[in-house]
Amino acid sequence: MVSTMDYELPEDVVMLRDMARKFAADKIGPNAREWDRTGEIPGEIIKELGELGFLGMRVPPEYGGAGLGYLAVSAIIEELACHCGGTALMVAAQNGLGGGHLMVGGNEAQKKKYLPLLAKGELFGSWCLSEPSSGSDAAALKTTAVLDGDTWVLNGSKVFVTNGARAGIFLIHARTDPEAPKAKGISTFIVERDAPGLEISPKEDKMGMRASDTVQLTLDDVRVPQENLVGELNRGFYDVMTVLEGGRITIGALSVGLGRGAFEQATQYATEREQFGKPLAKHQAIQFKLADMAVQVDAARLLVRKAAMLQDAGRSSNLESAMAKLYASEMATRVCLEAIQIHGGYGYLKDMPVERLMRDAKLCEIGEGSSEIQRMVIARRLLDLPR
Ligand SMILES: Cc1cc2nc3c(=O)[nH]c(=O)nc-3n(C[C@H](O)[C@H](O)[C@H](O)COP(=O)(O)OP(=O)(O)OC[C@H]3O[C@@H](n4cnc5c(N)ncnc54)[C@H](O)[C@@H]3O)c2cc1C
């Protein structure tokens, strides 16, 4: 298939992408159905992902990471997602959210303490913004942190915590100034897994992205030392916005991978399956479906790469990240559904990867800001409306 994945990438990125492609084809693809069923990614795979540098892709080498830019990160995540959305989500969240927030707001001591462990995959970091009563309206969060002597005391609950079942640290966003306007009184704290008062729920039973675990947290008088404050007091939400600019590129890349995976499965199936005396791929209606799918996958990849290149140039990609995430995630669902259609009844069976890819894809329209929220971000920028 000729596509934007095959040209205009720097040589070092092509090398990393090919390494990710081989790992995904050899180690992830053959097991993805089982991980979807059990909701578990084996420890040895996590270890290998760490050794390949995929769990600390953007962490600078001085903290033990690969020091990659978003162009490389998006190429790698696309390859992983092509075979298993859940594995790609675990990797994307570790890089973009847990590690990502420490890189944006962490001080030197915090970076030295946690980033090398995160990069190797010896530690997972979960990022806890969503709460039972605040999802899209994230700045309305109710978890509180109150200074008592020299410790912060945290109370509240968090939902939809990716990687929470294996995380050693949780980045908890909490209200530190109840009098300030919503986004202006929020700060971020590192809470270690064994902190007294922290309760972690069993894994959620999800529709898709099942290999990636999701939990709820309850914080009941959880005490953390002052040194666990990440970034400036009451300015945590600004760091959240920066983290999401990058995170949305990784979810865009993940969506491209899911769409491409479904497209490739459908293409192969259409050349093998015969109806009315010839392969499906010889029927023009099927050819047109495949053509439309390929165009959409490529268009999404170009949007993702545009946002990635802006980030890599040190520029803001608020608008471009939202565009990439919106288009790529909706594309992934459309393309996966079309791939199922091309598979006919067999596409409806769990034997075929397209069924799982479609369930995985739907999450991308919801997590890290739903499609509706991306449209709001885009419209605000286009119309120059206040944020
Ligand atoms: C598998 C999974 C993993 C996740 N991982 C994490 C994580 O690691 N950390 C984390 O903090 N969160 C995580 N999330 C949470 C995710 O970010 C939220 O689910 C998402 O932001 C939407 O919030 P909500 O589910 O509360 O929906 P709501 O905000 O209640 O929205 C419901 C619907 O209304 C729409 N809507 C809301 N407001 C408006 C509006 N103003 N105009 C038009 N439509 C609107 C939404 O788009 C949506 O369609 C995860 C979620 C899932 C499902």
Residue 368: other Cβ atoms inside 10 A: 27
Mutate-to-test residue for ligand 1 from 366, 374, 375, 385, highest number of ligand atoms within 8 A of CB: 366
Per-residue pLDDT tens for 140-160? 999 999 999 999 999 999 999
As assigned by CATH, the class of the 126-234 domain is mainly beta
363 lines ligand 1 (CB under 6 A): yes
**Which pLDDT score is estimated for 6?**
59
Q: Write the CB contacts of 228 (distance below 8 Å, at least 6 apart in sequence).
A: 152, 189, 190, 191
Per-residue pLDDT tens for 260-278? 999 999 999 999 999 999 9
Task: Indicate whether 1 pLDDT > 60.
Answer: no
pLDDT, average across residues 20-39: 98
Q: What whole-number percentage of the chain has pLDDT above 70? A: 98
Question: Ligand 1 centre from 326 Cα, in Å?
Answer: 14
Task: Indicate whether 280 pLDDT > 80.
Answer: yes
Task: Indicate whether 239 pLDDT > 90.
Answer: yes
Per-residue pLDDT tens for 360-379? 999 999 999 999 999 999 99
**Hey, where are the domains in the chain?**
4-124, 126-234, 237-383
**Which pLDDT score is estimated for 7?**
64
95 lines ligand 1 (CB under 6 A): no
Question: Ligand 1 centre from 101 Cα, in Å?
Answer: 19
CB 56 within 8 Å of CB 119: yes
**Which pLDDT score is estimated for 387?**
72
> Is 232 noted as a catalytic residue in this protein?
no
Task: Indicate whether 5 pLDDT > 80.
Answer: no
**Which pLDDT score is estimated for 131?**
98
- Distance CA(282)–CA(269), nearest Å, equals 12
Mutate-to-test residue for ligand 1 from 91, 130, 376, 380, highest number of ligand atoms within 8 A of CB: 130
Q: Write the CB contacts of 323 (distance below 8 Å, at least 6 apart in sequence).
A: 303, 307, 374, 378
Structure pTM? 0.97
**Which pLDDT score is estimated for 386?**
80
Per-residue pLDDT tens for 171-227? 999 999 999 999 999 999 999 999 999 999 999 999 999 999 999 999 999 999 999
**Which pLDDT score is estimated for 8?**
76
Q: Which of the residues 320, 330, 365, 368 is marked catalytic? A: 368
Ligand 1 atom, smallest distance to 130 CA: 11
Q: Write the CB contacts of 316 (distance below 8 Å, at least 6 apart in sequence).
A: 245, 310
Ligand 1 atom, smallest distance to 204 CA: 1
Ligand 1 atom, smallest distance to 136 CA: 29
74 lines ligand 1 (CB under 6 A): no
Per-residue pLDDT tens for 79-89? 999 999 999 99
Alpha carbon nearest to ligand 1 atom 37, residue: 136
What is the end-to-end Cα distance of the chain in Å, rounded?
41
Task: Indicate whether 4 pLDDT > 70.
Answer: no
135 lines ligand 1 (CB under 6 A): yes
**Which pLDDT score is estimated for 67?**
96
Question: Ligand 1 centre from 322 Cα, in Å?
Answer: 15
**Which pLDDT score is estimated for 355?**
97
- Burial of 385 (C-beta count, 10 Å sphere; 0-12/13-18/19+): exposed
Question: Ligand 1 centre from 151 Cα, in Å?
Answer: 31
CB 118 within 8 Å of CB 63: no
Task: Indicate whether 73 pLDDT > 60.
Answer: yes
Question: Ligand 1 centre from 214 Cα, in Å?
Answer: 14
163 lines ligand 1 (CB under 6 A): no
Task: Output the CATH code of domain 237-383.
Answer: 1.20.140.10
**Which pLDDT score is estimated for 50?**
96
Could you name the CATH architecture of 4-124?
Answer: Orthogonal Bundle (1.10)
pLDDT, average across residues 280-309: 98
Mean per-residue pLDDT of the chain: 96
333 lines ligand 1 (CB under 6 A): no
157 lines ligand 1 (CB under 6 A): no
